[in-house]
Structure 1
Amino acid sequence: MPPDVTLESPNTHRLVSRIAPHWREALGLLVLGSLASLAVTMREWGEMFHQWWNIDTYSHILLIPFIIGWLVALKASELAQIAPKPWLPGLGVIAMGLVLWFVGRMTDTNLIAHAGAVGTLQGIVIASLGPRACTIIALPLCFGVFLVPFGDEIIEPLQVITAEIAIVLTHLSGIPAFSDGIYIDTPVGLFIVAEACSGVRFLIAMITLAVLVAYTRFTSWSRRLAFLAASIIIPIIANGIRAWGTIFIAQSQGVEFAAGFDHVFYGWFFFAFVVILILGLAWRYFERDPEDYGWSVDEVHGFEILKRLEPYHASPMKVLAGTLALCILAGGTAMIAAPVAIG
């Protein structure tokens, strides 16, 4: 008689058995809801991944899913002490995300559509796990905002600021020059603060890192805000100094040498140097280890507002049905409205 054949590996069975029953239900709901959301917003996620993979400004976003996973893993022991309860008002968050996605899709505004796709997924997490569990993982949940590629909107102002800093330092270094917007005319040639030189790539990555550090290493809001401010101001000033350095080197070594030096220095050393500088200045003021970030289970259990939200819990099937209905409605409406929007 042939042996029984099973499609479930012993290792998988052991892994699933280690998950508490209430968490199995919640995670199953989360997976099914996420798949429904991705089916509707697949185009936007494809566009975002294309930007993460192919555009240098957004390449740091490829690390964010791993950072989110790490932050959640740090809270695993505390999450195990909480019973996740699907939350009916979470459907409202999903609906708002889908409305934002729909508006972005219909108006062909990628930033809005991408934000809606990410917001919908965040809403599904809230609806699937409930407010208590989501309070424990508030940081990684909110950190998902940085999955949205943004920053093109500030390129032009950054170009102007960089040019202004560079021209001031050029005059202070004794080099005759005058500027017209992003153009800097010097004895050795005309320099242009192009989009690639605006510093937006570094600034966006630095803001992302700063938020992570601020909420994992500091407890006081004053230090968090000071660190965030420094993480914005210092890179902008440093980029202006870098632009001036290119002009200064061009005076003595030639334009070609300066351009090559700027490419290597900016691409390989500039980012690392400024990050080390900012973290080095803040190191002595760190107030806790990363694994201690956020609220503890005891603190969460003591929040009165969470107690008031208890009556709005619902069964997993009701939340799943509501999630599927919203996704089908949004996807169907977009399919019907798309020809009208195009025409």
Structure 2
Amino acid sequence: MPPEPAALTLPLDGKAQAIPGPWRTALGLLGLASAALILLAAREWAEMLHQWWNIDTYNHLLLMPPILAWLVLLKADELAQVTPRSFAPGLVLVLAALGLWSMGRALGINLVAQAGAVGMVQGAVVTVLGLRASVLLALPLAMAAFLVPFGDEIIPPLQAITAEIAVTLTHLSGVPARVEGLHIDTPAGLFIVAEACSGVKFLIAMVTLGVLVCFTRFASWRRRAVFLALCVIVPILANGVRAWATIYAAQFIGATRATSFDHIIYGWVFFALITAGLLGAAWRFFEREPETYGWRAADLTSNLALARAETGALGPLGAAFAIIALAVIAALAGLL
């Protein structure tokens, strides 16, 4: 007979109950392994925290840790039906992420090094908790990738698209304009589609929100694809309209006042209105409640392939020890 599943009770109603031994042990070991990996990549984690806090393009990432915690808590009842088991092949994921982190450092590419730093922790979760627990936590594990600040690479094309939309609408609205690249010369003054006007902050935040909504509120892949596409297209078009509106308003109130007004409205009102409008339009098409997202433990328990994959003798203790050993070896190799 299979062992009785360990009960993991993390209720959302606030009634704290003790986490039984198998889960306490596994989570404690995962914490130790993750701490070793985070300490190894401390520079990358510090850089990411700096970007989240100090660069407004990435301020929304400050919400990611509580969102990930919320997604995990939503699966508490399902996790209660499985026993955490180690998955030795998960060490390959940790090694691959270690290699990515090392390559990023060697080449001086922060994005690659930071992706490796996050990937090491993701791999540790799979290795220590096992396949079934990781499948149940697939969404928060995948969304942890959004902890890595990215988007600078797409700023130039976004600037070009924004300029093209703004110029087209400016001509259609009857305002004469002469265009040279990202410079738009109008009777009210010269406007430049700078990096801050590219809309990258809006786009990245919307894509992050879109992925969260897609997998917690939709069951149909077609609806997910449509909604995620809208989360890409709508911010880009809206940013072009915003740039045009600034140019058009400047013809009447002056460039300085129009630009100042634009920063206030775009920063505090425009993004909220577009987001609310998109979510409101999608609301009637939602197919499920957030707590029902992902796979069910009952389906995974009867999956023979998963059961066979978790028959290794490494154990959570051995898995955590192996990860810590890899972190120590990598640290010593960096000192040599």
- TM-score band by shorter chain is over 0.9
TM-score, normalised to structure 1, is: 0.91
SS in 2 for 1:285: coil
SS in 1 for 2:174: coil
Q: Map of 1:149-298 to 2, 5 A cutoff?
A: 149-298=149-298
State the 1:17 CA deviation.
7.8
Show the counterpart of 1:72. Answer: 72
Q: Label 1:311 to 1:159 Cα distance change in 2 as closer, same or farther (>3 A).
A: same
Show the counterpart of 1:59. Answer: 59
Partner Cα separation in structure 2 for residue 183 and residue 335 of structure 1 = 49
TM-score, normalised to structure 2, is: 0.93
Q: Is contact 1:88–1:127 with CA below 8 Å preserved after alignment? A: yes
Partner Cα separation in structure 2 for residue 302 and residue 258 of structure 1 = 62
SS in 2 for 1:311: coil
Aligned residues: 322
SS in 2 for 1:86: coil
SS in 2 for 1:184: strand
Structural RMSD (CA):
1.4
SS in 2 for 1:312: coil
Q: Map of 1:107-118 to 2, 5 A cutoff?
A: 107-118=107-118
Deviations 1:82-131 (A, max 9, x none): 10001111111111111111011111110000000000010111111000
Structure that is richer in helix per residue: 1
The ranges of structure 1 where at least 4 consecutive aligned residues each deviate by more than 3 angstroms after the TM superposition are 302-305
Show the counterpart of 1:136. Answer: 136
Q: Label 1:17 to 1:293 Cα distance change in 2 as closer, same or farther (>3 A).
A: closer
Pair 1:31 & 2:31 matched: yes
Partner Cα separation in structure 2 for residue 281 and residue 73 of structure 1 = 28
Moved more, 270-279 or 314-323: 314-323
SS in 2 for 1:84: coil
State the 1:302 CA deviation.
3.5
SS in 1 for 2:185: strand
Taking only the aligned residue pairs, the percentage that are identical comes to: 55
State the 1:313 CA deviation.
5.1
Letter of the 1:273 partner, please give it. Answer: L
State the 1:334 CA deviation.
2.2
Pair 1:147 & 2:147 matched: yes
Q: Is contact 2:86–2:310 with CA below 8 Å preserved after alignment? A: no
Letter of the 2:60 partner, please give it. Answer: H
SS in 2 for 1:176: coil
State the 1:303 CA deviation.
3.4
Q: Is contact 2:217–2:289 with CA below 8 Å preserved after alignment? A: yes
Q: Is contact 1:106–1:334 with CA below 8 Å preserved after alignment? A: no
Deviations 1:41-81 (A, max 9, x none): 11110010011010000111111000000000111111111
